[in-house]
Structure 1
Amino acid sequence: MANPVNPPRGMRDFLPADKARREHALGIIKGVYRAHGFDEIETPVVEDYARLHSGLGGDNEKLSFSILKRGITPEALAAAAEAGDVEQLADLGLRFDLTVPLTRFYASHRAELPPVFRSIQIAPVWRAERPQKGRYRQFVQADIDVIGEPGILAEIELVTATSQALAELGLDGCVIRVNDRRILFGLLGHCGFAAETHDRALITIDKLDKIGADGVVAELREIDAAAADRLGAVLSAVEPALAGAGIQLTRDAIAAVLPAGAAEEGIANLAELGAALAGSLPAGVTVCFDPTLVRGMGYYTGTIFEVAHPGSGSSVGGGGRYDGMVGRFLGQDVPAVGFSIGFERVVDLLTLPETTGPDAVALVFDPDVDFARLVGLKRELVARGHRVRLEKRQKNMKTLLARVAADGFTSIANVRAETASAADLELRPLAG
């Protein structure tokens, strides 16, 4: 039985100090993205059930939380359950990512937006995950997207902005792995997989880090044994490079690990991206080509990326181009590409300052100080830019001082009956 005082399984409460650290990290991310010319939007936490289950969300659709229709009767509930028709029960659902809401937002507001729209969305999403470290049922995503730009400039802007955000967070050692879905499809075709089996084959290749190359080949042999063996030979040639320093994002390095003529369009796209990024990434962030990178979402059409960090067993960010997605709502295709930072995994890796912003002052007052004077003193300090908290003097001042210090307060001042104004206060720094 669930503990009634705990949050629901897979969701978390945050104490003030934790919340302050998270807001500090979010402020860094948002500040970098705005500096790169992106604008923040907000969308509802719920979307229509049909939109969330339209095939745009891939496997995440299976993890969505649905909202029962109002006034549904027990008889209707039983009938829908027997028929296995969830849509009879639910007309809304909690968003499982920020991309589906963004595409609906763009279709709704296209006339009010610039021809190339650069958006920021930083908000919680919900998935019925199996809770574990770094994987929660409610979590924050930090997304930037470029809609309306068909060329590689959009990918360049996303990678440079995201890499700077990671660097300014102090997340050293990030590797942005890059691939192109056209390379994947070209490679599958070259190896002999029929076009109708490509999506199924990619699902298997996406398990490479879990089941290894031998496991991938064994599973693919169920589709086409000869094609699976040919792909296995490619994977064997690629593995040493991936295990070492990585494959540079240059035409020669990419072509060296792929069969000749497998995917020229995708290779040219990544070579152009690599040339633009050369020397442009901040220290501590590198980019490399990974021909085994799949990204599980079926809506990706071109460039895909994923951020790896040695301190995390899973990716800490990712994204890609999804040119066909907006058209599902608009009736015409619109180029689009996005990059998402997995905020929960990133913040778990960070050592962030306990306090940020202006000096925070705890005013410790004696019982004989009247409230009007306290309010006046607080107003004066707030007007100067301080954060201020009123604390009644206690017998055990050591406990009080430790608590306010843990809450991020950096200074203390005693308020006596004779204290007339803020000028009479002696601000003393709190010990750590």
Structure 2
Amino acid sequence: MKVNLNPAKGMRDFTPQEKEIRDYVENVIVSTYKQSGFNLIETPVVENIENLIGSKGGENLKLIFKILKRGEKLDFSKTDICEDDLADLGLRYDLTIPLSRFYCKNQSNLPSVFKALQVGNVFRAERAQKGRYRSFKQCDIDIIGDGSSAAELELITTTAKALTALNVTDFVVRFNDRRVLKAVILNCGFLDNEFDSVCIIVDKLDKIGMSGVESELKGKNYNEECISKLMDALENISKNGTRCLSSYSVPEDVISDVEKIMNDVKDYANGKYDIEFDFTLIRGMGYYTGSIFEIAYKNLGYSIAGGGRYDEMVGNFIGQQIPAIGFSIGFERLVNQLIEEKFKVPNLEKVVLLFEKSDSYINVMKKADELRSQGYTVSVYEKSKKLGKQLNQFDGYGFSKYAVFSGDDTEVKSLS
């Protein structure tokens, strides 16, 4: 039987060089978050299916990897079986739902304001293509139990701190609020039950332009006057920002919240990065209730981090009102971009120590340990007859230096 050597569709293998960068980036992010007071937790990749499908996860609910029931629970003898009869578990599509369940289960043993850090793989049955994977890593920080704007400020500034620690500096925070979106869209005459559908279309503005948005809205047979008012609103708000929001019935306290958060972030950033109001920022998750934000990096056509306030999700598990907010770094997008920019792990001196067959291997190992004690990362290999070709190979493997074993006279040299 012919074996398919490719990973499953939408999944990936990683070379040693890629894994080296991935581990470094993850360690920097985690250490920055932990230093900022966030507590590392871990949750299972498998969740009860009812938690996933009841989570208001937008389009992601169509992308859940469902797990078949097992043993006697899997009964095909029944008539009129549907998909939901066959599955009782699923792979998590983000880290927010597992965190919400975790918090409710462990609430009595956690601080009243819990600052959580999670890193792990999530799974979505996406149409596999470049830059979109079915398994990918997320790095989340969340604050549960704080309904004030202090939570927004801490998440945004801490995420920015993690990025700058990786020398990612050319970025801007895009900021909006679901309460602003709803007020404006309803003010234009759309009905409450049309809000989500209108948002999905407006979210495409950067891809299809104003004419494309107008065309799609008309294709949904919405009221022509409502569409016209919304198109005018999009133009007006893009030019004037928060200054014109009150004319669309956005509550003054909401406008004040938005402006305060943005001004405070600008003050904290001190020119290192910027934050701007973007009314067309939607965020696809239906569970967002207030502030939503993303980080745009350089001229990429996608964000490298995103999040928002989800004040209803946690409480839904136990019937309480519990404020919550989170920010997730798009780990794969960030790493892919760093690799494309020829990112090198700093302060990593990788040395290959070469030896002859006639050398005492124990002495070679002792010399390797001696070099390691000097701060080098050392790999030991037998010396090839064609040394130049061998060194070129190790240069391609990410080694920066080499040494040929010769006892006390062993000398570390640069590969370049």
TM-score by length of 2: 0.91
Does 2:209 match 1:212?
yes
Q: Which runs of 4+ in 1 moved over 6 A?
A: none
2:20 maps to 20
1:368 maps to 358
Q: Quote the Cα distance in structure 1 between the aligned partners of 2:351 and 2:155.
A: 40
Q: 1:346 is paired with a residue of what secondary structure?
A: helix
Does 2:306 match 1:292?
no
Distance 1:343 1:358, change over 3 A: closer
Does 2:370 match 1:405?
no
Distance 1:276 1:282, change over 3 A: closer
Q: Quote the Cα distance in structure 1 between the aligned partners of 2:184 and 2:101.
A: 33
Q: Quote the Cα distance in structure 2 between the aligned partners of 1:210 and 1:391.
A: 52
1:343-373 Cα shifts (integer Å, max 9, x gaps): 1112222235434445333221221233433
Distance 1:348 1:311, change over 3 A: farther
* Aligned residue runs from structure 1 range 314-325, under 5 A: 314-325=302-313
Does the Cα contact within 8 Å between 2:45 and 2:91 map onto a contact in 1? yes
Distance 1:123 1:352, change over 3 A: farther
Q: 1:326 is paired with a residue of what secondary structure?
A: helix
**Structure 1 residue 218 displacement after superposition:** 4.0
Does the Cα contact within 8 Å between 1:66 and 1:92 map onto a contact in 2? yes
1:55 maps to 55
> Alignment identity in percent?
39
1:8 maps to 8
Does 2:415 match 1:431?
yes
Does the Cα contact within 8 Å between 1:413 and 1:425 map onto a contact in 2? no
Q: 2:294 is paired with a residue of what secondary structure?
A: strand
Count of residue pairs brought into register by the alignment:
412
**Structure 1 residue 224 displacement after superposition:** 2.9
Does 2:186 match 1:189?
yes
**Structure 1 residue 301 displacement after superposition:** 0.6
Q: 1:316 is paired with a residue of what secondary structure?
A: strand
Does the Cα contact within 8 Å between 1:121 and 1:142 map onto a contact in 2? yes
Does the Cα contact within 8 Å between 1:401 and 1:430 map onto a contact in 2? no
Q: Quote the Cα distance in structure 2 between the aligned partners of 1:3 and 1:144.
A: 41
Q: Quote the Cα distance in structure 2 between the aligned partners of 1:282 and 1:21.
A: 29
Distance 1:354 1:215, change over 3 A: closer
Q: Quote the Cα distance in structure 1 between the aligned partners of 2:126 and 2:88.
A: 21
**Structure 1 residue 257 displacement after superposition:** 5.4
Q: Quote the Cα distance in structure 2 between the aligned partners of 1:123 and 1:107.
A: 20
Distance 1:7 1:258, change over 3 A: farther
Does 2:329 match 1:336?
no
2:289 maps to 301
**Structure 1 residue 217 displacement after superposition:** 3.3
TM-score by length of 1: 0.87
2:126 maps to 129
1:288-314 Cα shifts (integer Å, max 9, x gaps): 011122111110011000222343212
Given the alignment, which residue of 345, 370, 382 partners 2:333? 345
1:250 maps to none
Q: Quote the Cα distance in structure 2 between the aligned partners of 1:333 and 1:348.
A: 39
Q: Quote the Cα distance in structure 2 between the aligned partners of 1:167 and 1:124.
A: 23
Letter of the 1:55 counterpart: S
**Structure 1 residue 79 displacement after superposition:** 5.3
Q: Quote the Cα distance in structure 2 between the aligned partners of 1:301 and 1:73.
A: 38
**Structure 1 residue 171 displacement after superposition:** 2.8
Letter of the 1:367 counterpart: K
Q: Quote the Cα distance in structure 1 between the aligned partners of 2:270 and 2:382.
A: 48
Q: Quote the Cα distance in structure 1 between the aligned partners of 2:384 and 2:77.
A: 60
Given the alignment, which residue of 376, 385, 394 partners 2:384? 394
2:315 maps to 327
Given the alignment, which residue of 170, 173, 176 partners 1:173? 170
Does 2:110 match 1:113?
yes
Q: Give the alignment's Cα RMSD to 1 decimal.
A: 2.5
Q: Quote the Cα distance in structure 1 between the aligned partners of 2:318 and 2:23.
A: 35
Letter of the 1:387 counterpart: T
Q: Quote the Cα distance in structure 2 between the aligned partners of 1:426 and 1:302.
A: 63
* Aligned residue runs from structure 1 range 196-275, under 5 A: 196-221=193-218, 222-239=221-238, 241=239, 253-256=241-244, 259=247, 261-275=249-263
Letter of the 2:234 counterpart: L
Does the Cα contact within 8 Å between 1:360 and 1:409 map onto a contact in 2? yes
* Structure 2 unaligned residues grouped into runs of 5+: none
Q: 2:132 is paired with a residue of what secondary structure?
A: coil
Letter of the 2:138 counterpart: Q
Letter of the 2:46 counterpart: V
Q: 1:136 is paired with a residue of what secondary structure?
A: coil
Does the Cα contact within 8 Å between 1:312 and 1:345 map onto a contact in 2? no
**Structure 1 residue 335 displacement after superposition:** 0.8
Does the Cα contact within 8 Å between 2:293 and 2:306 map onto a contact in 1? yes
Greater Cα offset, 41-50 or 188-197: 188-197
Q: Quote the Cα distance in structure 1 between the aligned partners of 2:83 and 2:174.
A: 38
Greater Cα offset, 366-375 or 32-41: 366-375
1:33 maps to 33
* Structure 1 unaligned residues grouped into runs of 5+: 242-246, 248-252
Does the Cα contact within 8 Å between 2:357 and 2:382 map onto a contact in 1? yes
Q: Quote the Cα distance in structure 2 between the aligned partners of 1:27 and 1:315.
A: 21
Q: Quote the Cα distance in structure 1 between the aligned partners of 2:73 and 2:306.
A: 42
**Structure 1 residue 196 displacement after superposition:** 2.7
Greater Cα offset, 320-329 or 350-359: 350-359
